[in-house]
Amino acid sequence: MRILTCAGLPDSLTIARFDQDGMEVLACFMHFLSRQDSPGMLHEPRPGYDFNMSSDATTPPGESAFFRYITVPEEAKRWGLYVTNLGYTKVPGGVPYPPFKHPESYTLQQETGRILPEYQVIYITRGSGMFWSEPSGEITIEAGSVFFLFPGIRHRYRPNLNTGWDEQWVGFSGDHAVRTMQTFFDPVQPVCQVGMAPDLHSLFNQICELTQHEGFGFRPVIAAKTVEILARVQAIISGGAVPRSPEDDALVRKACCRINDAVERAFDFKVFAAENGISYTAFRRLFKAHTSLAPNQYLLEMRLRKAQRLLINTSLPIKVVARECGFENSFYFSRFFKQRTRLAPLHYRKQCW
């Protein structure tokens, strides 16, 4: 396990990082935002955030987590929506929740709940659990659920002990955040079922990766991606998603989990469909209706995301990265990667480093 504190870190406070593996925003707007934050600008951590994780903290088996609490300069606040914290945690079954320490003001006590001064959006991609808030009461959480935390509202949530869950989240605030949340989202109905949405999952991953490396203009860019997360969720709950039965949802979640576990090897979708008593044509139609991607496109998307993580977080040779991501040879991998990112793998790694 790697323990980090705020000492010597510019721009933001990294609490911990474990295990290298977890309405469209216009491109011109993203490019404009990326030019607004001056590189090399240093900011002091906010008062009370001189936080150290104890050296005897342990990582649960198979755990992967990254989280960060970000200092927010006045320049970033002028955009009207700014990110205050973010991260992901893969919590296996049998592990107490939350598995890691956080700053005192963010500590979640299951007995008394917690009140935050900001909004948070949390996406559960595996497992199940419960959520409670004063306006909503107790609500069951399943894989594919998104739930919102609202400032000043007491809440608590946790995964089921026997399943655990995988969570991704972003905390945000600002005048524009208030307008957006009050217009489109309701504290009485804070939980939305969006299903297994690769584009949504990817946005959370991109926010974590951009923050980890603190590249040029990362604050307004991750704020823009947060707006896109809210827009995509709102589009789904306002009627953009197809009707879903619990059985269909369960089958698609099962397929996504099997695909995620088989990124480095071939996956026979016809065999999977037959094992689950459905024709491949019907399975493909169902899968695409729930995820917006055909099964093989989803597999390629997961391979691309894994390749990006390996290129950023390791120094593995390109041929090893190709093999770890299920490509037969590095030539095909490099061609595929460049088609999707417009950069060769080595150039992508150099740009991120």
Mean pLDDT of 146-162: 96
Mean pLDDT of 51-74: 57
Q: What tokens were used for 325?
A: 């991501």
Q: Are 322 and 333 in contact (CB under 8 A)?
A: yes
Q: What tokens were used for 41?
A: 């600008």
> What are the tens digits of pLDDT across the range 73-90?
898 899 999 999 999 999
Residue 52 has pLDDT above 60, yes or no: no
Q: Which pLDDT belongs to residue 244?
A: 61
Q: What is the pTM of this model?
A: 0.60
Residue 337: closest CA among 353, 315, 319, 313: 319
Render 38-101 in DSSP notation, one character per residue. -TT---PPPTT------TT--PPTT-EEEEEEE---HHHHTTS-EEEEEEEEEE-TT--SS-S-
Task: Report the mean per-residue pLDDT for the chain.
Answer: 80
Residue 158: closest CA among 93, 253, 204: 93
Handedness of CA 158, 260, 170, 25 (dihedral sign): negative
Q: Which pLDDT belongs to residue 285?
A: 87
Render 188-246 in DSSP notation, one character per residue. TB-EEE--S-HHHHHHHHHHHHHHHHT-TTHHHHHHHHHHHHHHHHHHIIIIISPP--H
Mean pLDDT of 219-226: 94
* Region at 162 (left for phi over 0; alpha for psi -120 to 50; beta for the rest): alpha
Q: Which pLDDT belongs to residue 136?
A: 94
The CATH number of 246-352 is 1.10.10.60
Amino acid in the structure at residue 297: Q
> What are the tens digits of pLDDT across the range 3-49?
333 333 333 333 333 333 333 333 333 333 333 333 322 222 233 32
> What are the tens digits of pLDDT across the range 180-204?
999 999 999 999 988 888 889 889 9
Residue 309: closest CA among 39, 88, 120: 88
Q: Which pLDDT belongs to residue 240?
A: 53
Q: Which pLDDT belongs to residue 49?
A: 29
Q: Are 85 and 69 in contact (CB under 8 A)?
A: yes
Q: Which pLDDT belongs to residue 100?
A: 84
The HSE-up count of residue 56 (CA atoms within 13 Å, CB side) is: 0
Where along the chain do its domains lie?
2-240, 246-352
Q: Which pLDDT belongs to residue 164?
A: 94
Nearest 5°: CA angle at 42, between 41 and 44? 150
Distant-in-sequence, close-in-space partners of 225: CB < 8 Å, separation ≥ 6:
25, 203, 206, 207, 210
Per-residue b/e over 218-230, b at no fewer than 16 CB within 10 Å? bbbbbbbbbbbbb
> What are the tens digits of pLDDT across the range 240-266?
555 567 788 889 989 998 998 888 888
> What are the tens digits of pLDDT across the range 102-114?
888 898 988 899 9
User: What SS3 state is found at 315?
Assistant: coil
User: What SS3 state is found at 267?
Assistant: coil
Q: What tokens were used for 198?
A: 């690769």
The CATH number of 2-240 is 2.60.120.280
